[in-house]
Amino acid sequence: MAQFIADHKFTNKKLIYLIDGYSNFSAISSNQSSEYNNKILADNLTENKINNFSFGNDTQIFFKSGYKFKNDNKIGLVLKTEFNYSTNKIKESPNIDQAFIYSQSNIGRFEFGNYQAVNQKMKFGPARIARGSGGINGKYLQYVNFPMLASPTNSSSPGCNQFGNGSCLNLKMPRFITLAQSPIGHGGYAKGFYQRTVNNNFDSSNSGYSAFSRSNFRSFKDDSYEGFEDALKLNYYSPKINGFQYGLSYAYDSNLNGLSANTAHDIDDIHLKNILAIGLNYSEDFDNFSLAISSTAEKAQIENSASKIAVERKDLFAYDFGLILSYFGFKIAGSYGNWLKSLQAKNGVYSCQYNSSLDLSLQDCSTLEKKYKNPSYYTLGLSYQFGPFFASLTNLKSNFQKNYYQATSFGIDYKYSKNLTPYLEITNFNFKVNQPIASNLINQTSLDNQASQFKNNSGNIFLIGFLYSF
More confident residue, 431 or 261: 431
* pLDDT in the model for residue 171: 84
Within a domain: 27: no
Within a domain: 444: yes
More confident residue, 447 or 304: 447
Evaluate if residue 307 carries a pLDDT over 90. Answer: no
- Give the long-range contacts of residues 392-397, CB within 8 A, separation 24 or more: 392/126, 392/129, 392/130, 392/131, 392/132, 392/135, 394/126, 394/127, 394/129, 394/130, 394/135, 394/136, 395/126, 395/136, 396/126, 396/136, 396/137, 396/178, 396/179, 396/180
Within a domain: 126: yes
* pLDDT in the model for residue 233: 96
pLDDT tier at 156 (50, 70, 90 boundaries)?
Answer: very low
* pLDDT in the model for residue 453: 80
* pLDDT in the model for residue 2: 38
Within a domain: 151: yes
pLDDT tier at 311 (50, 70, 90 boundaries)?
Answer: low
* pLDDT in the model for residue 361: 82
Average pLDDT taken over every residue of the chain: 86
Q: How many domains does the chain have?
A: 1
Task: Tell me how far apart the alpha carbons of residues 212 and 193 are, in angstroms, rounded to a whole number.
Answer: 5
pLDDT tier at 154 (50, 70, 90 boundaries)?
Answer: very low
At residue 57, φ and ψ (nearest 5 deg) are -145, 135
Alpha carbons within 13 angstroms on the beta-carbon side of residue 49 total: 16
Across the range 298-325, mean pLDDT stands at 83
Evaluate if residue 213 carries a pLDDT over 50. Answer: no
Asked whether the beta carbons of 184 and 337 are under 8 A apart, the reply is no
pLDDT tier at 341 (50, 70, 90 boundaries)?
Answer: very high
* pLDDT in the model for residue 94: 83
At residue 236, φ and ψ (nearest 5 deg) are -135, 130
Across the range 281-291, mean pLDDT stands at 95
Within a domain: 97: no
Within a domain: 49: no
Q: Which domain holds residue 157?
A: 107-469
pTM for the model? 0.91
Across the range 46-64, mean pLDDT stands at 92
* pLDDT in the model for residue 441: 80
Residue 326, domain CATH: 2.40.160
Q: Count CB neighbours of 276 within 10 A.
A: 18
* pLDDT in the model for residue 264: 54
Evaluate if residue 196 carries a pLDDT over 50. Answer: yes
Strand partners, 328: none
More confident residue, 330 or 266: 330
Within a domain: 417: yes
Provide the 3-class DSSP secondary structure of residue 450: coil
Within a domain: 454: yes
Enumerate the H helices of 70-188 as residue ranges. Answer: 118-122, 126-129
* pLDDT in the model for residue 251: 96
* pLDDT in the model for residue 464: 98
* pLDDT in the model for residue 6: 38
